[in-house]
Amino acid sequence: MTEFVATTPSLFPLPDPAKSELADLKGHQKGDLISGDESEAVVDVYDDARSTVVDEQLDAGLDRVVEGSLRWDDMLAHPLAVHDNVETGGIVRYYDNNNFYRDPRVTGELTSSGDVPADLAAAADLLDDEAPLQAVLPGPYSLADLATDEFYGDEREFLDAVASFLAGEVESFPAHETLFLLDPSLVAAPPDDDLAGVVPEAIDTVAGATDADVVVYTYFGALDEKTYAHLLDADIDAVGLDVVAADREGTVYNAVEYGITDDVALGVADGQNTLVESPETLRERAAWFTEQVPATDFERVYLSTNTEPFYLPVNKHRAKLDGVGAAADLEREVHA
């Protein structure tokens, strides 16, 4: 029997009232972005917004609730951008889209920060056992790929340092059911031959810091064969795959050719398109994938948007939350 679980990769669009208030409080320049030392007034706005997005997820019937990552002005680079031993440099394009982040230039040892754990603890307090908490972090490879190393001087050593930093953050997390590691760089900028084999070790470093189920969530297309095969060497509970992207046939090919984890996370709702899909369409997309992977009876299938949803208008994002929640609930348990 396959359990369908409705969830999201976090990084939500800011609720409109918070967006307006923060524009007045923070300003609009690069130097006005989140740095970890916000004023009490700014903190209060984010607290209210966090409460709003948690309630919206509960209303949508999601099976895993995220904090929302509303403070992540630098998208996946956020955990480094607010670190004491990181200087933010110039503006860099965020993958192949029209969003930009401050280049995090690592100038010292990546010690524990506590920034993400604090936000996650605030979300846990809001839930009060109403639904399981899902923690979200960038995967170690993507975070290293988005950053500039000016301290370690070696690509492998830097990846190991980023992984150890993330593991330290996880160790400070409140109790959580699932940990999503968002790793789109595995698709967008795959590791070269020298690094590909050590990526699973970096993932294991982070995954080993929690007893929760760990999902490495990839998106922006299909993984190349080498990267996919190496990813399966990591000690994780599920891989996350984009079944909205145009090259999704490559995703099926990888799963058939190289195998797949017992659980799988599928990006079935388009996180970058305002068209709101029906719950039936989302389940059809999941079935399109699972039915083509022979002899695999998935124990759990996570349903989600394929990318972070911060690209969407708030009303469309909320509608997609509702759709994902309803898609998982069409039949809570069915034969795969």
- For residue 34, the model assigns a pLDDT of 80
Yes or no: say if 266 and 302 are a contact pair by the CB < 8 Å rule.
yes
| Residues sharing a CB contact under 8 Å with residue 101, sequence separation 6 or more, in sequence order | 73, 74, 75, 76, 77, 81, 91, 92, 94, 146
Please provide the DSSP assignment of 85-130 as one string: TEEEEEEEE-TTSS-EEEEEEE-S------HHHHHHHHHHHHHTTS
Residue 146 domain flag: yes
Does an H or E element contain 180, and which? Answer: strand 178-182
Residue 335 lies in a domain: no
Tally the domains of the chain.
1
Over residues 206-256, the pLDDT tens digits come to 999 999 999 999 999 999 999 999 999 999 999 999 999 999 999 999 999
In a domain, residue 275? The reply is yes
**What residues form DSSP beta bridges with 305?**
269
CA separation, residue 118 to residues 33, 55, 174, 305, 311 (Å): 18, 19, 9, 25, 25
- In a domain, residue 336? The reply is no
Q: What is the largest CA-CA distance in the chain?
A: 56
Q: What is the CATH classification number for the domain harbouring 311?
A: 3.20.20.210
Low-confidence ranges of the chain (pLDDT < 50): 333-336
Residue 27 lies in a domain: yes
Question: Which residue segment(s) compose the domain that 304 sits in?
Answer: 3-329
pLDDT at 336: 36
28, amino acid identity: H
Residues 33 and 73: their CA atoms lie apart, in Å, by 6
Residue at 39 is within a domain: yes
- Residue pair 237/265 in contact (Cβ under 8 Å)? The answer is no
Answer yes or no: is 280 within a domain: yes
In a domain, 202, yes or no: yes
Whole-angstrom distance, CA of residue 304 vs CA of residue 150: 36
Give the sign of the dihedral formed by CA 125, CA 126, CA 130, CA 136. negative
